[in-house]
Chains A and B, each alone.
Chain A
Amino acid sequence: MMSLIIFIGVVLVLVILFLIFRVSNLVGIAKGKEEEKGGTWNKVNAALFVVFSVAGLIWFFWYSFAHFDEYTLPIASEHGKRTDTLFWVTMWITVVAFVIISLVMFAFIFQYQYDPKRKAKFFPDNHYLELTWTIIPAIVLSVLIFTGLRAWNDITAPASKDAEVIEVIGQQFAWTCRYPGVKDNELGKVNYKLIDNVGNEFGLDLADKKTFDDFKSLELHLPVGKEVLLKIRAKDVLHSVFLPHFRVKMDAVPGMPTHFKFKVTKTTQQMRDETGNPNFNYELACTEICGQGHFSMRMPVVVEEEEAYERWKASQETWLKQNPDYLKQVPANLREAAMIKAGLEKDPGTSVAAVNE
């Protein structure tokens, strides 16, 4: 019933609008007044452009300043400061250009609106003008290009040898981390054909002894002030690692491991103090469309002082310890070493050194 009333109402409004349109049309014809070039509407349109540009620019500046803290994210990485600086430098340059061009354009629109008494200026070209506005943007852009290139080259330069290596794996619709383990500090080999849905979600190749002390985490723990190298891969479709506060983004590609190195500058606690939000947490999000649960691929991120971080690492159980059934897959000659490295057996001390050779 309600929708019927709404429907009838809408129809009535449309009919009335149509009638107004017809009547105004007929009145126009009856008056015999041809729509003149440069009539009232011409003035109205010219004025509306001015109103629009002034109101738009005022709103733009007011919102940009008044809500600055709402639309900017705090930075917590070293290269992030640099890319943000670039962002804001570009912003200032382009906003100046934008405002000048807009104002000039809308001023011209108002000033040169049609006047039957005036004739437009025949001004087909001017090489000096054209050269000027080819060269000036070219120079400004070169500056942006070269500062951008330097930042980009530094950001994508190879990570240092002692960077903290952590693997992040995307799958529909969750992230998992693999840490290289505290014993050898190296990630073991993986092969996607070894992945199963009972326990070996990484596809760990247990013939490789580096896998024995690897451990899994559903939280990304990072040390502050130390270079981190994220090794990124995907199991099924494309995903993308996005760490908004660290200004980090890199796709996870099945069949093509990718990586991103960065240095975090603030612990979670520091950030909580700074933002005054006791519940603040860093997060990892997915930014490459990956299916129905794309919007829910979140992994919490914890940034700690290095000692706390090392303590956390040492407290984690190795993957093999959590999945002791897989010991069967370890070659017989490595099994004992695996048990020790995985923490399934006490370290007898001397024998470990031999295994590690």
Chain B
Amino acid sequence: MATSNIHTHHDAHAHDTHEEHEHHHGNFWTTYIFSEDHKVIAKQFLITGIFWALLGGTLSVIFRLQLGFPDMSLEWLRPVLGGWITAQGKLDPEFYLALVTMHGTIMVFFVLTAGLSGTFSNFLIPLQIGARDMASGFMNMLSYWFFFVSSVLMFISLFLSTGPAAGGWTIYPPLSALPQAIKGSGTGMTLWLVAMAIFIASSLLGSINYISTVINMRTRGMSFTRLPLTIWAFFFTAIIGILSFPVLFAAALLLIFDRSFGTSFYLSDIYIGGEALAHDGGSPVLFQHLFWFLGHPEVYIVLLPALGLSSEIIATNSRKPIFGYKAMIGSMLFIAILSFIVWAHHMFVTGMNPFLGSIFMLLTLIIAVPSAVKIFNYVTTLWKGNLRFTPAMLFSIGLVSFFLTGGITGIFLGNSAVDIQLHDTYFVVAHFHLVMGSASFFGMMAGVYHWFPKMFGRMMNATLGYIHFWLTFVGVYLVFFPMHYIGIKGFPRRYYTWTNFDFAQGFTDLNMLVSIAAILTLASQFIFLFNFFYSMFRGKLAPANPWDATTLEWTTPRNPGHGNWPGEIPHVYRWPYDYSKPGAKEDFIPQHIPYSETPESNFPHENDLIKLETSNGEGAIVVEDKH
């Protein structure tokens, strides 16, 4: 925790006088393992998330080998997969489903929910609102360790002899309820459910913390309308999480009852394995309603933080205020609300009442409006900017591109009449991998590149970042764009092979291209991994504010200690997007600079605010936070 390379005079001074107060010296365990410091917890989430992302990506490459090269012998995977490679050197069809299931579960929950929100909500909320830490450091620590336990259980399930859960990441019963229907619904499914229950507890602990921190612990002057869009995004995300995750918990609990205690919430009229089951009166469609009541908001739990991160990064690197700050907040709020009333668009052809289908279609297509507003605002932010293509900026632009490409296909799928044909085909796979998977992943990458200097006090290598971006950006498009064609043709998803069907012939070339692109994309992530770990120890020392950004985290020392700011917490006098203000000396004015210091660039209404600054500003510093 030593702050050995301080560059600015201010920081060096702070270092001398406040170190005793700010550094609570703990041992290795309390500092790095059971830490209550939000920054350490954020890094724990990040590292765990990276581990899961690699695993999830590897699983997808294994099943892409099967889909792209159906004739290839996978004998060479036997040392790893053992009995899951059949005597003919093929992937076991049931294990194929297990791979698909675990890929989805891992990516959606463990990488893009915990890895993304867990990392950046934890890291940025206190730093950007000007707080010493989260509202409850202890709960925050619990949140990570619940996630850790959940991760361990999910990981163990991969090694069961009956395999992990294999009924799709949506675990629809009866398939997920009946071990006689698929092996993965035995112990693998039990572990899945227990792991997810613990995961939900972790997510709730985190969300409660994020919300209370944002509401209660903003520094003086940091009104809600001066919050960076990142914080708004994390705030909405946490609210969505609190309202929707308990419903998944209920769904999982009832499924556990059905599986283990003979209840019939989801089961009815089942004849399997030579016997008619006693379960009667349940409805599999009930589970789908409960699942998607979480499942759809979950899409925005994954996406909103990424949009928040990229808003911040695009504004900073365009050297321009984000266009339509309030419209951006409004559209996120609108998306957050709508996300709760569109869930049944996943269920147009499940036998649900068609009238319900028409309502959900209407509500679903409305969500395209705030999404379109966001895209237009991003593009307008670029207009007449002064664009610096840092790796973070590249990934943010990539996000906007994916959000556009993938969002547009949502207009097809949200239309129930069109969805009849497209449902559960590769068109859907292309859609959500672009709009939710890749966009969020790119948001996460952008965040890592942008805030790495604050996390580890060193810079990542930019050139490797550019190479990583271009390989990944092109790779992702090569993986998911061709899937649209495959989907229009009607290829169903979760198929081990399409050879049984005449209508699903052809496209061996495209499928091969997709698989090769997937392998290369995964391989290029190792460039990132190298850059990440190498720069952590050997990267160039980071200046205090490497991106000339306005937000508060860049006013901390290079390696902020426990408590974040050595002295008082800075006060906030202006919104976070004063980039390239007319008349200003530099092309950015940080949030903690009072209007009284920038008379040359103030707008008339801002000059009026100067009085307020002096009337309570100076006095407040004395009162503020002496401990």
Chain A interface (Cβ within 8 Å of chain B)?
21, 24-25, 35, 37-38, 41-42, 44-46, 48-49, 52, 56, 60, 63-64, 67, 70-73, 80, 82-84, 86-87, 90-91, 94, 97-98, 101-102, 104-105, 108-109, 112-115, 118-126, 129-130, 133-134, 137-138, 141, 144-145, 148-149, 151-153, 155-156, 171-172, 192-193, 195, 197, 203, 232, 235-238, 240, 242, 244-245, 247-251, 253-256, 258, 279-281, 283, 285-296, 298
Contact = CB atoms under 8 A, between A and B. Distances in A.
Nearest to A197: B274
Given A144-B415, A289-B168, A244 B587 contact: no
Given A120-B384, A145-B361, 6 more contacts: A91-B412, A121-B320, A123-B380, A149-B362, A256-B285, A288-B424
Given A46-B387, A292-B97, A251 B496 contact: no
25 contacts: A87-B422, A90-B411, A109-B397, A120-B318, A120-B385, A120-B580, A121-B320, A124-B322, A141-B411, A149-B358, A152-B357, A171-B271, A236-B181, A236-B270, A249-B420, A251-B349, A254-B174, A254-B269, A255-B267, A255-B269, A256-B284, A256-B351, A279-B502, A289-B97, A291-B94
Nearest to B482: A63
Contacts of B500: 295-296, 298
A144 B365 contact: yes
Contacts of A115: 386
A16 B354 CA distance: 62
Interface stretch (B48-56, B200-208, B248-256, B460-468): B460-468
Contact of A56 (B477, B489, B492): B477
B474 A283 contact: no
Interface string B340-359: 00000000011100100110
A329 to B, nearest CB: 16
B323 interface: yes
Interface of B: 93-94, 97, 167-168, 172-175, 178, 181-182, 267-272, 274, 276, 281-285, 318-327, 349-351, 354, 357-358, 361-362, 365-366, 368-369, 372-373, 375-380, 382-389, 394, 397, 400-401, 404-405, 408-409, 411-412, 415-418, 420-425, 461-464, 466, 470, 473-474, 477, 481, 485-486, 488-490, 492-498, 500-504, 506-507, 577, 579-582, 587
B179 to A, nearest CB: 11
Most B C-beta atoms less than 10 A away, residue of A63, A64, A255: A255
Contacts of A134: 369, 372-373
A82 B489 CA distance: 17
A244 B285 contact: no
A236 B182 CA distance: 11
Given A46-B389, A87-B421, A295-B93, A105 B357 contact: no
Contact of A152 (B354, B401, B422, B474): B354
Contacts of B474: 52
Given A193-B276, A254-B268, A122 B389 contact: no
A244 B382 contact: no
Contact of B462 (A41, A120, A286): A41
Given A73-B489, A291-B94, A253 B284 contact: yes
B271 A235 contact: yes
Given A124-B323, A237-B174, A255 B284 contact: yes
Nearest to A64: B485
Contact of B94 (A70, A287, A288, A292): A292
